[in-house]
Amino acid sequence: MTSQQKDIVIVGGGHNGLVCAAYLARAGRSVLVVEAAAEIGGAARTRELAPGARVSSGAHLLHAMPDDLINDLNLTAHGLKLSSVRLNTVSLNNTGSSIVFADNTVSGAEVTAKDKAAFARFDKDMNRFAKALRPVFDKLAPDVSIETWGQRLELLGLGWTLRKLGRYHMREFLRVIGINFYDLLDEYFDNAQLKAAIAMDALLGSEWGARSMGSVLTYLYRLAGYQRNGGMGLALPEGGMGALSHALAKAAEAAGAEIRTGARVKRILIDDDRATGVELENGERIAAGCVVSNADPKQTFLKLVNPDHLDTGFIRRIRNLRSKGKAAKLHLVLSGAPAFKGVEAANLGSRMLIAPTMDEIELAFNPCKYKRYPTASVMEIIIASAHDSSLVSSGQHVLSAVVQYLPYDDTPEEDANRTAFLETVLDQLEQYAPGIRAQVMAAELLTPRDIERQFGISGGHWHHVELAFETFLFNRPVPALARHCSPISGLYVCGAGCHPGGNVTGIAGRNAAQQVLRGGH
């Protein structure tokens, strides 16, 4: 039974799907978002972990959304409030010797004047390179078909952006982009803890360690995010990341879009090689002029589209995409404020990192290559309740941590492994915050496989598809999808698996909307 007819149906109400819906509805199109989960937001969601205690259950920091998108969609008027901006970062040490990163400076008892000066140089160099790449990250991936003068000029513009760095910095950029972050940081710094803390920004959410090729690229990707966010740095939406998604949904609805939750798409309807709508799991069919998928590429093209409509080469490429996440998420409800060594109570709301040295990052990374769990992890910790009391009952705190590196565990021992690993992480935290174990009132560890289940992301990967040279720019996630169109006419993609990549940016959603409006390829 066909229940509705829309100009556009969007499969998935993750933040990118909602951004796409808002832009399309503002352009006068009739838009319906169908979200499988009971709640919108995808991996940008807030969830009750225990009675009265709420956490950002996927992403926990807002740092990469362009300020013009936030303003364009009037997110403040639609309820977005930030409980904190420009969070400092504190690298923890179990001896109490912490390092603080605040407003482009670094300090700490064991940070020498030489390392402080090196940090200023490093920060300037990297920001220069990130600035050169930013137009590439912020816009639609260039068209490499070079059939028209416009396409040729776009590619030339890319080369010119790099040449504008000047001869020395262009050469330096081309040198460092190919090496790994471990070697690069060794060139600048002496302090091992300082190097590891910086490396975390390149590695969070990725499938590799500091010695892996491509880790400079992911660092620049992260820096470009800071540059575009209008100075908010690392920010926390009041009410958790779900509050951002709700503001996006309100912006879309105010423009006329309709959003349905608890509506899982079973398949994308294709007629005569053109997408014509979707069929939901309950059998309901919704007809549409075109379909935009916010689901990851594997789900979209291996599950929702009948393979008869795709050529085998394309299917093989999608199947081979690297999409097994290595980042887990820890959530704790604590009976009181934990006391981290080397962190004053007033700084509990900083972003805290546990990454003692780059070698220890590598040691945490190595086991996951062989599907094993690390004996000590590296992690990014946020205590959002230090800024936002609405998340907890009085006196309590919620801690969320991205914990790396876990294998995608599909073995029969998965449950036992998760339980044992949670104990390992709590023991590790106890070394940095003595007494924290006794404060734990509720605990949850989401492994990459749990993230797959909870957010519907194949493989549970932060970026849907690994952000690497082979899946970058006009190759992301595969050349045929690089500009949000697909081999099937009228079917578009708008999720983190597309250019430019993951994080809560909304860029893929905005660019996809642009392509739909152009009817483009």
Question: Minimum Å distance from CB 107 to ligand FAD?
Answer: 24
Q: Which of 6, 8, 9, 16 binds ligand FAD (CB under 6 A)?
A: 16
- Show the tokens assigned to 476: 């992301």
DSSP string, 133-159: HHHHHHSPPPPTT--SHHHHHHHHHHH
Question: Minimum Å distance from CB 445 to ligand FAD?
Answer: 11
Contacts of residue 51, defined as CB under 8 A and 6 or more positions apart, other chains included, come to none
Using the 8-state DSSP alphabet, how is residue 207 labeled? S
Q: Is 342 in the site for ligand FAD (CB under 6 A)?
A: no
Q: How many residues bind ligand FAD (CB under 6 A)?
A: 41
Which is closer to ligand FAD, CB of 204 or CB of 216? Answer: 204
Each residue 46-65 as x (binds ligand FAD by CB under 6 A) or -, in order, gives: ------------xxxx-xx-
Residue 105: strand pairing partners: 102
Q: Which of 11, 275, 343, 358 binds ligand FAD (CB under 6 A)?
A: 11
- Main-chain phi, psi angles of 46, to 5 degrees: -110, 140
Per CB under 6 A, which region of 212-220, 247-255, 291-299, 316-324 contacts ligand FAD?
291-299
Which is closer to ligand FAD, CB of 15 or CB of 78? Answer: 15
Per CB under 6 A, which region of 360-368, 452-460, 474-482, 512-520 contacts ligand FAD?
452-460
Q: How far apart are CA 137 and CA 483, in angstroms?
A: 13
Contacts of residue 165, defined as CB under 8 A and 6 or more positions apart, other chains included, come to 128, 129, 132, 173
Q: Is 21 in the site for ligand FAD (CB under 6 A)?
A: no
Per CB under 6 A, which region of 32-40, 70-78, 249-257, 424-432 contacts ligand FAD?
32-40
Q: How far apart are CA 347 and CA 499, in angstroms?
A: 36
Which is closer to ligand FAD, CB of 42 or CB of 242? Answer: 42
Mutual orientation of helices 167-176 and 149-163 as an angle, nearest 10°?
100
- Show the tokens assigned to 514: 């642009």
Site of tokens 């998340």: 391
Per CB under 6 A, which region of 33-41, 71-79, 160-168, 188-196 contacts ligand FAD?
33-41
Helix residue ranges, H only, 271-413: 297-298, 312-319, 358-369
219, 126 in Cβ contact below 8 A? Answer: yes
Q: How far apart are CA 493 and CA 511, in angstroms?
A: 10
Q: Is 502 in the site for ligand FAD (CB under 6 A)?
A: yes
Q: Is 42 in the site for ligand FAD (CB under 6 A)?
A: yes
Contact positions with ligand FAD (CB under 6 A) in 190-219: 205
Contact positions with ligand FAD (CB under 6 A) in 247-276: 264-265
Go through 162-177 and write b for each residue having 16 or more CB atoms within 10 A of its CB, e for each that does not: beebeeeebeebeebb
Contact positions with ligand FAD (CB under 6 A) in 301-320: 304
Which is closer to ligand FAD, CB of 42 or CB of 142? Answer: 42
447, 435 in Cβ contact below 8 A? Answer: no
Contacts of residue 235, defined as CB under 8 A and 6 or more positions apart, other chains included, come to 61, 62, 63, 82, 84, 85, 86, 87, 229
Q: Is 477 in the site for ligand FAD (CB under 6 A)?
A: no
- What is the CA 21 to chain-centroid distance, rounded? 20
Q: Which of 101, 455, 472, 492 binds ligand FAD (CB under 6 A)?
A: 455
Q: Which of 377, 396, 503, 515 binds ligand FAD (CB under 6 A)?
A: 503
Q: How far apart are CA 47 and CA 241, in angstroms?
A: 10
Number of H helices, E strands in the chain: 16, 19
Which is closer to ligand FAD, CB of 10 or CB of 53? Answer: 10
Q: Is 496 in the site for ligand FAD (CB under 6 A)?
A: yes
Per CB under 6 A, which region of 118-126, 282-290, 292-300, 306-314 contacts ligand FAD?
292-300
Q: Is 456 in the site for ligand FAD (CB under 6 A)?
A: yes
Listed residue (321, 253, 264) closest to 497, CA to CA: 321
Per CB under 6 A, which region of 9-17, 195-203, 417-425, 468-476 contacts ligand FAD?
9-17
Per CB under 6 A, which region of 15-23, 191-199, 211-219, 341-349 contacts ligand FAD?
15-23
Q: Is 361 in the site for ligand FAD (CB under 6 A)?
A: no
Contact positions with ligand FAD (CB under 6 A) in 370-409: 402
Question: Minimum Å distance from CB 255 to ligand FAD?
Answer: 18
Chain positions contacting ligand FAD, by CB under 6 A: 11-17, 34-37, 42-44, 58-61, 63-64, 205, 264-265, 294-295, 299, 304, 327, 329, 402, 451, 455-457, 462-463, 495-496, 502-504
